[in-house]
Structure 1
């Protein structure tokens, strides 16, 4: 549920490129990840879609000083600042990137192509105008860390009372497997980010894994974990909703920490 979003990779490695800490080729490689291609469309000054290397260079030339992440959900415009058209596209995608200093934002459109058994993913980032205003509901790193720790304690207590499969040894084993996959061959954040941001992002992703397990990826493959009735499923969803919201806020705070630190001087 809270695995590494494409917007997070774009913001983190784009910020490292803007800061001169990585090369354009390395930034593009890290952002693309396991996808086949990433291109940027509707970028000012470009007649058609361009590759990431050219797009990031163009944004920097236009005056971009940093990249922020938005992870909106219905009823929660997390990280957005308007206008309505951009917000609507970002909400549909579930994520977006906002470029500070140039009033532009990027929203991913994801396509699958290729024959069955050899499907690959292509991503087109649509460039749109955004409003230069404080992003909605993004906490500081310190606030995010405190809220996340409290939410994790509360969720564990509630899920234990509800007899959730995700609150016991099965969940711990699944979390260890998740951590091993997450750490294999990737950095949590790009160079230039503070240690606290890395710690907050790791905890947010761990909480996201716990939410997935509690919803049913543990417990012998049964959907909704150990729930056996509609009322238990509803109670579990109600318990997890604020935890998931807190984890998304923390994730955005971590990805945006580079820009926040830069703007504070």
Structure 2
């Protein structure tokens, strides 16, 4: 996971807006990013899709006090609290935003059009009710940081035994290159204003661990080429991927959860 999920951008900049760190227009611009346009549909009190600026204001008026991220996967409803219809939609999208204080959730529907190199991306956030209940399996930021450090050690050890190229010097070089690109970006913020430095650190660590996972999954070198060995590789990576997603959810939600 090397780029911000759209749910993360909406949650981070939505939280910055609610805390008074940014204006509605600046928050909307940051959330949209490189996409062409974002709209929100299903908002209580609105008859059709509305723009992000209006939607963020409406959510605040409806009682939203913060935004959390959900990154569910099959068998792991990370960050979700129901109902089943919302969970199913979020699982299909592999992400969602939960509004604390308003019992509403948003799931992105992404449409792409145009030739390679000139793809036009539109996002419609579908808003619907959610249960006002604790989210599933969300760790504290401290727990996430400890889990990531352990996951990176375990992943490299296990993958080295499987003879996966992404577990050794190739992974180290790729991580160094990623770190150099991040430092060269300079002023680009990893998270929105108002987030603590520890959340930034955890999110960056999650990206580095995610990079190792991506290299391992994409590696066609080494001995792990048979069906059984590919299955073993997947089994080794699955718990690491879960740790990465838990850490990302914790980082984006720390200003809401306060842990």
Aligned to 2:68: 68
Distance 2:232 2:189 in 1: 36
Question: Shift in Å at residue 3 of structure 1?
Answer: 2.9
Structure 1: 4+ residue segments shifted above 4 A: 180-183
**Cα distance in structure 2, aligned partners of 1:211 and 1:153:** 12
1:203-255: CA deviations, max 9, x gaps?
A: 11111111000111x5xxx3x76523222211111111100001101110111
CA distance in 1, matches of 2:243, 2:41: 32
Q: Relative to structure 1, is the Cα distance of residues 228 and 114 closer, same or farther in structure 2, using a 3 angstrom cutoff?
A: closer
**Residue 244 of structure 2 corresponds to which residue in structure 1?**
247
> 1:131 aligns to what SS in structure 2?
coil
For normalisation by structure 1, the TM-score amounts to 0.92
Q: How many residues get paired?
A: 257
CA distance in 2, matches of 1:225, 1:248: 27
User: In structure 2, what is the equivalent of residue 24 of structure 1?
Assistant: 24
User: Which secondary structure state, in structure 1, belongs to the residue aligned with residue 121 of structure 2?
Assistant: strand
Q: Is the 8 A contact 1:214 1:225 kept in 2?
A: no
Q: Does 1:256 align with 2:248?
A: no
Partners of 2:77 and 2:115 lie apart in 1 by 37
| Structure 2 counterpart of 1:33 | 33
Query: What secondary structure, in the 3-state scheme, does the structure 2 residue paired with 1:38 have?
Result: strand
TM-superposed CA distance for 1:148, in Å, is: 1.1
* Cα distance in 2 between the residues matched to 1:186 and 1:236: 34
Question: RMSD of the TM alignment (CA)?
Answer: 1.7
1:206 & 1:80 partners in 2: Cα distance?
Answer: 25
Q: TM-score, normalised by structure 2?
A: 0.94
- Structure 2 residue ranges without an equivalent (≥5): none
Matches within 5 A, 1:85-164: 85-115=85-115, 117-164=117-164
In 2, the alpha carbon distance for the partners of 1:173 and 1:115 equals 33
